[in-house]
Structure 1
Amino acid sequence: MSVEEWKQAPIAILGAGAVGKAVGADSKLAGNRVHLFELPAFAGQTLKNLDKTGITLTGGQNSLYGFERSGRAFFDLVTDRIEEAVAGAKIVIVAVPSIAHDQFFEALVPVLEDGMIVHIIPDNFGSLKLRKKMRELGCQKQVIVGGWTSAPYGARIVREGGVMTPKIELKYRAITLRGAALPLTDQDIFLESSRAIGAFDAITEGDGVTGGQTVLDVGFSNVNPVLHCPGTILGASVMENFGRIFGGNDPLQYSIYSHAYSESVAEVQYAFYLEQVQLAEAIGVDLLRYPKENFLSRTSILGPEYMGDDCIVPFDQQFPMAYGTGPFTIQDRYVTEDVPVGCHIYHELGKKYGVATPVIDSMIVLGSVMTGRQFFEEGLTLEDLDLAHLTKEETLAYLETGLFREREV
Structure 2
Amino acid sequence: MQEKLIVVVCGGGNAAHVMSGLSASRENVEVRVLDVFSDEAERWTKTLGDDSIVLTVNHPDGSHDEVRGKPNFITNDASKAVPGANLIVFAVPAFAHESYFEAIKPYVKPNMIIVGMPGQPGFEFQCFSILKDIAPKCCVIVFEGLPWAARITEFGRAITVLSTKDFLNCVVIKGESKIEGDPLKPIQYLLGPHPVATKLHNFLEPTLSTKSIMHPPIMYGAWKDWDGNPLSEKPLFYQGLTEEAAELMSGMSDELLATAKAISLKKPEINLDGVIHLFDWLSKIYANEASDKSNLLQLLRTNSAFNGLLHPMKEVEPGKFMPDFTFRYLTEDVPFGVVVLKGISELAGVDTPITDKVLAWSQKMIGKEYIVGNSLCGKDVATSRAPQRYGYKSLDDFDPLL
Q: Which TM class, normalised by the smaller chain length? A: 0.7 to 0.9
- 1:57 maps to 55
Provide the secondary structure at the position in 2 that maps to 1:36. Answer: strand
Provide the secondary structure at the position in 2 that maps to 1:177. Answer: strand
**CA RMSD between the two structures:** 3.7
1:346 aligns with 2:341: yes
Choose from 108, 128, 140 the match for 1:112: 108
1:230 aligns with 2:230: no
- 1:147 maps to 142
Q: Distance in 1 between matches of 2:159 and 2:170?
A: 24
- 1:215 maps to 203
Provide the secondary structure at the position in 2 that maps to 1:354. Answer: coil
Question: Contact between 1:255 and 1:327, CA under 8 Å: does it hold in 2?
Answer: no
Structure 2 CA distance for partners of 1:115 and 1:362, relative to 1, 3 Å: same
Choose from 379, 384, 390 the match for 1:385: 390
What letter matches 1:115 in structure 2? N
Question: Contact between 1:279 and 1:346, CA under 8 Å: does it hold in 2?
Answer: no
Question: Contact between 2:8 and 2:88, CA under 8 Å: does it hold in 1?
Answer: yes
1:371 aligns with 2:359: no
Q: Distance in 1 between matches of 2:20 and 2:77?
A: 17
Structure 2 CA distance for partners of 1:48 and 1:144, relative to 1, 3 Å: same
Choose from 221, 234, 237 the match for 1:256: 237
Q: 150-159 or 10-19, which moves further after superposition? A: 150-159
Choose from 248, 269, 291 the match for 2:249: 269
Q: Distance in 1 between matches of 2:150 and 2:200?
A: 24
Question: Contact between 2:209 and 2:276, CA under 8 Å: does it hold in 1?
Answer: no
- 1:403 maps to none
**Structure 2 unmatched runs, 5+:** 265-269, 293-297, 314-323, 372-378
1:178 aligns with 2:174: no
Choose from 90, 103, 112 the match for 2:86: 90
Question: Contact between 1:230 and 1:363, CA under 8 Å: does it hold in 2?
Answer: yes
What letter matches 2:219 in structure 1? T
Question: Contact between 2:48 and 2:156, CA under 8 Å: does it hold in 1?
Answer: no
What letter matches 1:174 in structure 2? K
| Residue-by-residue CA offset, 1:140-198 (whole Å, 9 max, x unaligned) | 88321121111112233458xxxx68543434311111111235687983333422223
Question: Contact between 1:123 and 1:150, CA under 8 Å: does it hold in 2?
Answer: yes
Q: Distance in 2 between matches of 1:77 and 1:195?
A: 22
Q: Distance in 1 between matches of 2:361 and 2:176?
A: 40
- 1:319 maps to 304
Structure number with higher helix proportion: 1
Q: Distance in 1 between matches of 2:63 and 2:89?
A: 22
1:37 aligns with 2:34: yes
Q: Distance in 2 between matches of 1:48 and 1:81?
A: 13
Question: Contact between 1:233 and 1:330, CA under 8 Å: does it hold in 2?
Answer: no
Shift of 1:104: 0.9
Shift of 1:352: 2.2
Q: Distance in 1 between matches of 2:42 and 2:161?
A: 21
1:76 aligns with 2:72: yes
**Structure 1 unmatched runs, 5+:** 295-300, 401-409
Q: TM-score, normalised by structure 2?
A: 0.76
Shift of 1:118: 0.9
Q: TM-score, normalised by structure 1?
A: 0.75
Shift of 1:25: 2.1
